[in-house]
Structure 1
Amino acid sequence: MFLHSLYLIAIIVEAITAALAAGRRNMDWVGVCTLGCVTALGGGSVRDVLLGNHPLAWVEHPFYLLITGGTALLTIFISRFLHHLRKLFLFLDAVGLVVFTLIGCNVAITLTMPFIIIIASGMITGCVGGVLRDILCADIPLLFRQELYAVVSALTGLIYTVGLCAGLNNELMMTLAMSSGLALRLMALRFGWGMPKFIYTKNLH
């Protein structure tokens, strides 16, 4: 129940950030609504398609579409006030990343997938929604621009899955994994930590 409540908060935050991204690209209301739904629900949908897990979450629970689409449209009317809440959104986005990751790992565990697929499932759930958003906005995805995002997701999933494999308590490992992932993401934001960049400027001709 607690994880599901965090999930609802996470998809609402993702829908808002997607709507703001749509506004920066001057999209119409249909674009805003679509981008909000794709960003919030896309990671889980891609995961379920790849794992053959049906029905998709938003097909089984259509109100997820109402929540994300409605939130995206509401953002149009309250956008002028949201810049004051930037730090809060960064925090909630970090919470969403670790929550999505754990949910993805749990889906793969339920399907008795191999260890590496469990980690990948968590990363897909946590990261792919943002990648789809950036692609639809014609941006280089945040995931590929030095940010410690996929690394945080991988670490969160790794801690959780290794703990479960070792026979430790599920609630304990969930708390530990979320706390570790959240702490790393927030420290990365605070201190500007990132992955090394590959810069190649040589002309082959």
Structure 2
Amino acid sequence: MTILTWLDYTGVAVFAATGALVASRKQLDIIGFLFFACITGIGGGTLRDLILGLTPVFWVREHIYILICVAVAIVIFFTAQRLESRYRWLLWLDAAGLAVFSVMGAAIGLSATASPAIAIVTGVLTATFGGVLRDVLSGEPTVLMRREIYITAALLGASVFVLADEFGLNRGLASMLAFAAALILRGGALRYGWTLPSYGHAPGRPPDESL
């Protein structure tokens, strides 16, 4: 089993855990836990495969991904109450999942298209879409609307992987470098509040104001 395969399984498990933690915050039943674990764990990869035309999508071809999500949801259902701060765990697990999926999405995009630009896009989409779907469906404040760096971390991870691959690095090493880069940037944003400069001019006109 390659390091990329292990990363893929790990990413699905970690993102499934964040979905289950959201279900615990909403005090849902076991079906709610399974639902949020699955949509978060496989959501980004599903969008990636559909865009790349890789059908049937990965979790239909290999059922282990659904089984991973189910197993994680059950574990979180019985253990979430033991976590001192579920929201802190949610944020850090989400950061780890984002770092893993930025690499996996880029690797799959590169293999499918041989285009560095497309690989970076699929890396970002794979890393972010599951979390956004989780937050929107649960009514939680979406991670995209937080000021801390988020998409940029996924962009960095995907870009580092593509650049390392272009320079001929072993894919295992390239994966580790890209994962570390994305996790360090997102982790620093969580720990120290790193942000990009925000738009500082006056907001646009209200929608009902005449042109």
TM bin (shorter chain): 0.7 to 0.9
**Distance 1:172-1:69 versus aligned 2 partners, 3 A rule:** closer
Q: Cα deviations across residues 74-116 of structure 1 (Å, max 9, x unaligned)?
A: 3222111122687666544333212111111111111124322
Letter in 2 for 1:82: L
SS in 1 for 2:139: coil
1:200: which partner in 2? Answer: 203
Q: Cα deviations across residues 149-190 of structure 1 (Å, max 9, x unaligned)?
A: 210110111111122223344333223222222221221111
Per mean C-alpha deviation after superposition, the further-off stretch among 51-60 and 19-28 is 19-28
Letter in 1 for 2:203: Y
Q: Distance in 2 between matches of 1:2 and 1:34?
A: 28
Per the normalisation by structure 1, the TM-score is 0.86
**Distance 1:94-1:109 versus aligned 2 partners, 3 A rule:** same
Q: Distance in 2 between matches of 1:110 and 1:66?
A: 25
Q: Distance in 2 between matches of 1:112 and 1:29?
A: 39
**Distance 1:151-1:52 versus aligned 2 partners, 3 A rule:** same
Letter in 2 for 1:7: D
1:97: which partner in 2? Answer: 98
1:120 is aligned to 2:155? no
Q: Return 5+ residue gaps in structure 2 as ranges.
A: none
Per mean C-alpha deviation after superposition, the further-off stretch among 32-41 and 16-25 is 16-25
1:133: which partner in 2? Answer: 134
1:171: which partner in 2? Answer: 172
Q: Cα deviations across residues 18-48 of structure 1 (Å, max 9, x unaligned)?
A: 1121233343332221111000111001100
2:63: which partner in 1? Answer: 62
Q: How many residues end up aligned between the 2 structures? A: 205
Q: Cα deviations across residues 41-80 of structure 1 (Å, max 9, x unaligned)?
A: 1100110011101221211111221221232133222111
**Distance 1:79-1:2 versus aligned 2 partners, 3 A rule:** same
Letter in 2 for 1:63: I
Conserved 8 A contact 2:14-2:96: no
Conserved 8 A contact 2:7-2:104: no
Per mean C-alpha deviation after superposition, the further-off stretch among 83-92 and 143-152 is 83-92
Q: Cα deviations across residues 115-136 of structure 1 (Å, max 9, x unaligned)?
A: 2211110011111100110111
1:21: which partner in 2? Answer: 22
**Distance 1:59-1:179 versus aligned 2 partners, 3 A rule:** same
1:10: which partner in 2? Answer: 11
Matches of residues 39-54 of structure 1 in structure 2 within 5 Å?
A: 39-54=40-55
Q: Return 5+ residue gaps in structure 1 as ranges.
A: none
1:181 is aligned to 2:149? no
Q: Percent identity?
A: 34
Q: Distance in 2 between matches of 1:186 and 1:32?
A: 26
Letter in 2 for 1:200: P
Letter in 2 for 1:141: T
